[in-house]
Amino acid sequence: MKNAVLEVDAVSKDYGGFRALSRVSLTIDDGEFIALVGPSGCGKTSLLKILAGFEFPTEGRVRIQDRDMAGISPAERPTRMVFQKLALFPHKTVEENIRFPLRIEGVPEDEQIRRVRTMFEMMHLKPEYRHRYPARLSGGEQQRVALARALVSYPRVLLLDEPMSALDAKLKKSLQAELKRIHREVGTTFVLVTHDLEEAMMLADRICVMVAGKIEQIGLPSEIYRTPATRFVAGFIGETNFLPVSVKAEGDGAVIAPLCGRGDPTKLAAGQIAPTIGGERADLLIRPEDVRIAAEAPTSGGWHVEGELTEKFTKGSSTQYRLRVSGLDRDFIAESTGFDTGHIEIGQKVIACFDRACFYVVEGAS
Amino acid sequence: MSTPGNNRRHWELWISVLPFALLLVLFLIGPMVLTPLLTFQETKLYQLRWTWSFDTWSTVLSNPTYSAVLLRTVWTALLSTIVCVVVAYPVAYALNTRLAAWSNQVQILIIFAFLTDAVLKTFGWVLFLDVHGVGNWLLQKLGFGPGATNILFTPKAAMLGIVYNLAPYPIFTIYLSLARIDPDLKHAAYDAGASKLRTFLQITLPLSLPGAIAGALLVFVLSLGTFLESKVLGGGTKPLASELIRQTFETRVNWPLGAALTFSLVLVALAALLGLVMIGSRLRIGAAGRETS
């Protein structure tokens, strides 16, 4: 078991009358890569600022390395921040930017030079960039300089405030891979704030989904994806199908039967039911990649819906089919790997089947 | 490559800039060419005579009064530039930090300072600085002894007037350049462990220098041309160049001499300006990287 490096204990934050965080508790392990994810205004940035020391909680406590952080300024904390707009000093060269924290700390000159060189190597920055001004670098390079400046003083916790939100998709992907590698190399605890659950899934060891100032779920990426605690978490990534079902409690689990489409009543274990479910109606969560398009309905009472194909998209590595199903207000989505073989035409009636093995239910739409 | 559409756009451009270009040529470039030409002429019995001689220049260069006035003018301008920027910086800084929530009202107030006529404001200072005025009364009550503001009709009072009238310019330019600095830069410096003073010296001050330099240039150019403050508040015993030039043209009707003095003032001012710009560009060498992105 690893040691906790950072403990957030029932932290609340009020801005005037607005409660940005309400009793948030979170423990972050040493060396872990954790992502705080949520829509804008969910409190994730407020929490990060509290961890950095730019803001202080209205209630509750933050401990870093077993030290209470009440009244401790950002400078005195073993944390460093990578800002959303990077906040590189425009009037200082790349090298001066990276050295800035070391100069303030009073690190000896030769040690400064050594560490800056290490950072250049780790970030794959070209040595000739040393004397350039940040504005002369590309977005991705600026990103690396910001990371280098934050990591050069060997912080215990690195706080990243959506540092990749301004980059285009392709650059983002390559930097995400870089970030993962850098995390492995330095072994520092990373706390990443992002509104992109996909990015969080890709990078983080653990994900903390926040909504309206509260933590909705903390868990491994696979848990967030396969067994979301709430309907919100289930629907936060990509496009997802929700199929209304009836629920009847039975023993530890429950029996569900489709209210739309067909299929034999199925017994679910406790682990296949979100804890927020109450009452007799719920929604079955079906990820598009678990859906198979077929010409005929399965014979043995397997779950399926029947619909009319309204659209098909080729996404390169996969093809997406959208079905209009009576009783559902949104298109039912199926995704299969490979190119569309062209055997289904738009407007044609098709069957969408899904396997019981990955069944999971969340509360219905309110 | 000129396509027909391109050509027409050229014509439209020419026609649209023509009125302004005419104005510029007639009333700026024309006089600027005429001024040095005038310096080689003579006046006889208040009549300009079109001859070519160096008499005016030898008068200007040999008479120490003229060079003294020119030097005094440049010196006053430099001094008021420094005082203005030093006075303006903390004001602009406070407006940006302490009064950030009121930034709209503050900007309107600064613009208001330009709306009131400088003549009125300058005469206001006479009432304030007078021995029986409010300023003196107040300072006496505060225990500074009688005649504490006994500077009326001295160069000090003139300087006070110049700074008072011109300070809004650097306040505005510095305010704007401070407002453009991303607050996260300060946060990044704090995060790296820098103290408030260090953050100010290493981040805020260098990044606001363009505004300070722009303000300084404005004040310098404007204060070279002032005559009001030295006339009203300075007592007129030590005139500045613009007053001398006005007298030479108007009262003495000696156009060649006036032109020579004008030309000298422009030359001295250009030299001083060049010096300021060079200091400025050296100071903001680091900030140069920002302009290309």
How much is the ipTM here? 0.81
The answer to whether B289 faces chain A, any CB pair under 8 Å, is: yes
Of A333, A360, A38, give the one whose Cα is nearest residue A197: A38
Inter-chain CB proximity A81 and B187 less than 8 Å: yes
- Size (chain A), residues: 366
**Torsion angle, alpha carbons of A263, A269, A272, A277, to 10:** 90
Give the DSSP letter of residue A299. S
Question: Whole-prediction pTM value?
Answer: 0.80
Which backbone phi and psi does A204 adopt, to 5 degrees? -85, 150
Inter-chain CB proximity A90 and B207 less than 8 Å: yes
How confident is the model at residue B292, as a pLDDT? 37
**CA separation for the pair A35, A190 (Å, rounded):** 8
How confident is the model at residue B287, as a pLDDT? 47
Question: Given this chain, do its domains A4-226 and A239-363 carry the same CATH topology?
Answer: no
Domain spans in chain B, listed from the N-terminal domain onward: 64-292
Strands (E), chain B: 42-44, 47-49
Q: Which residues of chain B have pLDDT under 70?
A: 1-6, 145-149, 283-293
DSSP B45-92: TTEEE----SHHHHHHHH-HHHHHHHHHHHHHHHHHHHHHHHHHHHHH
**CA separation for the pair B131, B121 (Å, rounded):** 18
Tell me which residue has tokens 């001024």: B35
Inter-chain CB proximity B207 and A91 less than 8 Å: yes
- For testing the chain B interface, which of A76, A89, A136, A138 should be mutated: the one with the most B CBs within 10 Å? A89
Domain spanning A4-226: CATH 1.10.3720.10: no
Quick one: A235 exposed, middle or buried, by C-beta within 10 A (0-12, 13-18, 19+)?
middle
pLDDT digits (tens, 9 = 90+) for A240-271: 889 888 888 887 888 888 888 888 888 888 88
Which backbone phi and psi does B37 adopt, to 5 degrees? -65, -40
Identity of the residue in B189, B194, B290 whose CB atom sits nearest the CB atom of A135: B290
The answer to whether A34 faces chain B, any CB pair under 8 Å, is: no
Domain spans in chain A, listed from the N-terminal domain onward: 4-226, 239-363
**CA separation for the pair A361, A272 (Å, rounded):** 6
Q: Considering only residues 224 to 253 of chain B, which have any Cβ-Cβ distance to chain A shorter than 8 Å?
A: none
Quick one: B82 exposed, middle or buried, by C-beta within 10 A (0-12, 13-18, 19+)?
middle
- For testing the chain B interface, which of A48, A73, A81, A91 should be mutated: the one with the most B CBs within 10 Å? A91
Residue type, A229: A
Task: Please give the residue of chain B at the shortest CA–CA distance from A151.
Answer: B192
Q: Which residues of B touch A91 (CB under 8 A)?
A: 206-207, 284, 286-287, 289-290
Contacts of A207 (CB under 8 A, 6+ apart): A34, A35, A37, A197, A200, A201, A217, A218, A219, A220, A221, A224
Inter-chain CB proximity A81 and B191 less than 8 Å: yes
pLDDT digits (tens, 9 = 90+) for A47-104: 999 999 999 999 999 999 989 988 888 888 999 999 998 999 999 999 999 999 999 9
Identity of the residue in B190, B284, B289 whose CB atom sits nearest the CB atom of A135: B289
Task: Please give the residue of chain A at the shortest CA–CA distance from B196.
Answer: A75
Inter-chain CB proximity A74 and B191 less than 8 Å: yes
**CA separation for the pair A241, A358 (Å, rounded):** 13
The answer to whether B184 faces chain A, any CB pair under 8 Å, is: yes
A to B CB pairs, distance under 8 Å = 81
Residue B167, number of CB atoms within 10 A of its CB: 21
How confident is the model at residue A352, as a pLDDT? 87
Residue type, B226: T
Residue type, A225: Y
Q: Which residues of B touch A88 (CB under 8 A)?
A: 188
Tell me which residue has tokens 């009203």: B232
pLDDT over threshold 60, residue A5: yes
CATH level 3 topology of B64-292: MetI-like fold (1.10.3720)
Region A13-29: mean pLDDT is 90
CATH level 3 topology of A239-363: OB fold (Dihydrolipoamide Acetyltransferase, E2P) (2.40.50)
Percentage above 90 pLDDT, chain A = 36
Q: Which residues of B touch A149 (CB under 8 A)?
A: 188, 192
How confident is the model at residue A344, as a pLDDT? 79
Residue type, A41: G
**CA separation for the pair A299, A351 (Å, rounded):** 12
> Encoding tokens for residue A156?
């215990």
